[in-house]
Structure 1
Amino acid sequence: MSKPQEPHRPFFPFGNPFRAISPKGAKVSSRLSFLLATFEDSLAERLKKLTPKSENDILSFSWMELAMKLLRETHNDVKTLVEELGFPVSEWDEKWLDEYLNISVKLLDICNDFSSELSQLNQGHLILRCALHNLESTSSNQSVRAPSSLDAWNQHISSRTSRVDSCYPILDSLGESLDLPKVKNSSKGKVLMHVLYAVKVVTLFICSVFASSFSGSSEWLLPTNVPDSFRWASAFTELQKYVNMEIKKIYSSGRFTALRDVDAVNERVKKLHSMIQGNMDDCKEEFQNLIVELRREAENLTQGVDHLTKQVDEFFHIVLSGRDELLSNLRANEAVFSQGMGGLCTRQL
């Protein structure tokens, strides 16, 4: 699969983002401080739970499902917090609106690319079922077909057309956008910028990890340095360091894929293919055990793909609904303003 061609820029090339989201002249009330602290503490706990207990958890579909669930819950928390802030869209800076709308449409594109990758993996389910049927059959004709059916899996998994190439410019621009606009004389705006910074950092990290897993290259990883001032910084830094290090280790070892569930299937397929080509008389029991293992790993792969696809779809709909709500509020505000001026005109969004 192809790798991203653009060079990586160091984070942060634009200076310390904390200065941009912690302006002077806007004091935060105790209520707003509580809302922000609640959001950040919740995010920190989720990041801690996502930290793998062992290296074997990294890029397993169960771990990736938890990662996408974290994104979904965090983005949902943003919607809830904005409502609790009582901060109407009419008071948002135009730069914030443009930033949010721009990022949201990019996230929708990324979700579509991830769904496409998962769909291609899911197509291998029928190939594995056919291979298992031939391996378990007592018919000599089907036994002869076993090697070709195993080859079909290898060909399918190695010739997949990756769509994540289009994700790299999106992720790169998302990293550049971490330098949020300064907030002047708005305590609610200050809290909003803290929250948007947090959700963008976490989104960038998880999406870059997913892109790396699908592309077969650690070059997709986009590390972010988060100031220690944030309550979730320590948990994020520990998670990012561990996960990125393990992914680089996987690819440096020459592994074909970093996806644990796919690699588990590949390992059994490779062993079975080798045994079929050799002398089966002395390894019939081992051969049968490998068939059982392949069936188990194939089922794990299928279930993992299905569950992760569901999480990606749910995240897509949360981003889409948040975008639709914002656009609806903008249209409503514009309509009210225009009517007050004596005429109704709709702003083109």
Structure 2
Amino acid sequence: MSRSQDPQRPLFSFGNPFRMILPKGSNLSPKLLDLLNTFEVTLVERLKKLKPLDREDVLSLSWMRYAMESLCAIHTDIKTLITALELPVCDWDDKWIGVYLDNSVKLLDICIAFSSDISRLNQSNLFLQCVLHNLEGPSKQFMRARSSLDGWRQHISSKNQRFEKCFAIMDSLAATIDLPKIKNSAKGKVLMRAMYGVKVVTLFICSIFAAAFSGSTKKLMDLHVPESFSWAEAFTDLQAFINNEIRNLYSSGRVTVLKELEAVDTSVKKLYPIVQDGLDPVETEVLQYSTSDLRIQTEKFSQGLDLLAKEVDSFFQIVLTGRDALLCNLRVGGNVTDSVQPNNNVEGQAVR
């Protein structure tokens, strides 16, 4: 494979970017320490559960769905922390607000790119439905079935142009992963430390999805987390396991690294010679088995995509509602005059 398979140089390999946020001897009240500890312990648990027991589960649609579900939970955790901190928006530093709003709109754009590709993959099933329709009836239509198989191959190999923008967004998020310095707010220090964890895990999972959908490890990131964070070990272990497995999958020369899509592709390869050369009477059983297998794998793939699409939409809504809540609070405080009107349709959302 190309040089894109080589691991990227770890980001932020210098010292703890938060030594100015929580320096040695920093005095946080027991309540704030407890809130921070609860958040970080929960984060460790979520990271450990994300590591699959079987390597074969990496980049299965079920694992990707669980990864997005976990990301939704982590973003909910940070909202819970913000509420518990009792830190009103009017006390937020302008830099915090700017970072939050900038990051949130970028995450919305990334979600749209993911949803777009899930939709593209789902559309490919229309070709396979045509194949099954032409082969499962009493009168076999081999030429039509072969044409649909060719259409499926061409559709699957097409590229989603949204990912070029998605890659640029991920680069900008990585470049600003270290958060603003906090001077005079103990609550702000806790919030920024927790938000750092959320941002790192979010970027990591997004890079996995980008690698899975784009067919390239070009933007598979290796993020360095300082050891001073209690969740650093769990994150580093998970990242090394997942990234190494993804790189191994691509280096093996597979057409796709999505497990369910690979199963469909295998079924198509078995069926194609039969519909291409015509059916010999002795191959009737083979055709029946191959057609049945294709239907089973197609249904698994379709169901997996539908469930994953729902989780991506859930994440979109969590980010969007959090952004809207902040803007609403700012408007109440007289700092923001523009309005945001959420749209529940992910595909149709125009993010500004």
TM-score above 0.5: yes
Question: 1:268 — aligned with what?
Answer: 267
Amino acid in structure 2 at the alignment position of 1:240? Q
Structure 1 residue aligned with 2:298? 298
**1: CA distance, partners of 2:10 / 2:37:** 29
CA distance in 2, matches of 1:263, 1:234: 32
For the residues of structure 1 that align with 2:150 and 2:10, how far apart are their CA atoms? 42
Shift in Å, 1:143? 3.1
CA distance in 1, matches of 2:99, 2:167: 18
Task: Name the residue aligned to 1:342.
Answer: none
Match of 1:32 in 2: 32
Pairing of 1:233-272 with structure 2 (within 5 A)? 233-272=232-271
Name the stretch that deviates more: 103-112 or 182-191.
Answer: 182-191
SS at match of 2:138: coil
Q: 2:115 & 2:206 partners in 1: Cα distance?
A: 12
TM-aligned CA deviation for residue 14 of structure 1: 6.4
* 1:20 CA displacement: 4.1
TM-score under structure 2 normalisation? 0.89
Letter in 2 for 1:48: K
Q: Cα RMSD between the aligned structures?
A: 2.2
Task: Please report how far the alpha carbon of residue 283 of structure 1 lies from its aligned counterpart in structure 2 after TM superposition.
Answer: 4.6
- Offset, 1:47: 1.3
Distance 2:230 2:16 in 1: 17
**Deviation of 1:280 (Å):** 4.3
Q: How does 1:211-222 map to 2 (within 5 A)?
A: 211-222=210-221
The answer to whether the 8 A contact 2:208-2:220 is kept is yes
CA contact 2:16–2:228 (8 Å) conserved in 1? no
Change (3 A) 1:143 1:347: closer
Q: Residue 202 of structure 1 corresponds to which residue in structure 2?
A: 201
Shift of 1:98: 0.6
* 2:39 partner SS: helix
* 1:294 partner amino acid: L
The match for 2:227 is 228
Matched residue of 2:19: which SS?
helix
CA offset at residue 185 of structure 1? 2.9
The answer (yes or no) to whether the contact 2:264–2:298 under 8 Å persists in 1 is yes
Q: Cα offset for 1:17?
A: 1.6
Is the CA contact (8 Å cut-off) linking 1:18 and 1:227 kept in structure 2? Answer: no
Q: Deviations over 1:294-339 (max 9, x none)?
A: 111101111111111111111111101111111111122237xxxx
Query: Deviation string for 1:265-293 (max 9, x for gaps)?
Result: 11110111024345745554343222222
1:111 equivalenced with 2:99 (yes/no): no
Superposition deviation, residue 145 in structure 1: 2.1
Q: 1:235-287 CA deviation, whole Å, 9 max, x = no partner?
A: 21111111111111111111122111111111110111024345745554343
Aligned residues: 334
Residue identity over aligned pairs, in percent, reads: 53
Aligned amino acid, residue 193 of structure 1: M
C-alpha change, 1:145 and 1:347, in structure 2 (3 Å) is closer
**Structure 1 alignment gaps of length 5 or more:** 336-345
Distance 1:270-1:162 versus aligned 2 partners, 3 A rule: farther
**Which runs of 5 or more residues in structure 2 are unaligned?**
340-352
| Counterpart contact for 2:10–2:224, Cα < 8 Å | no
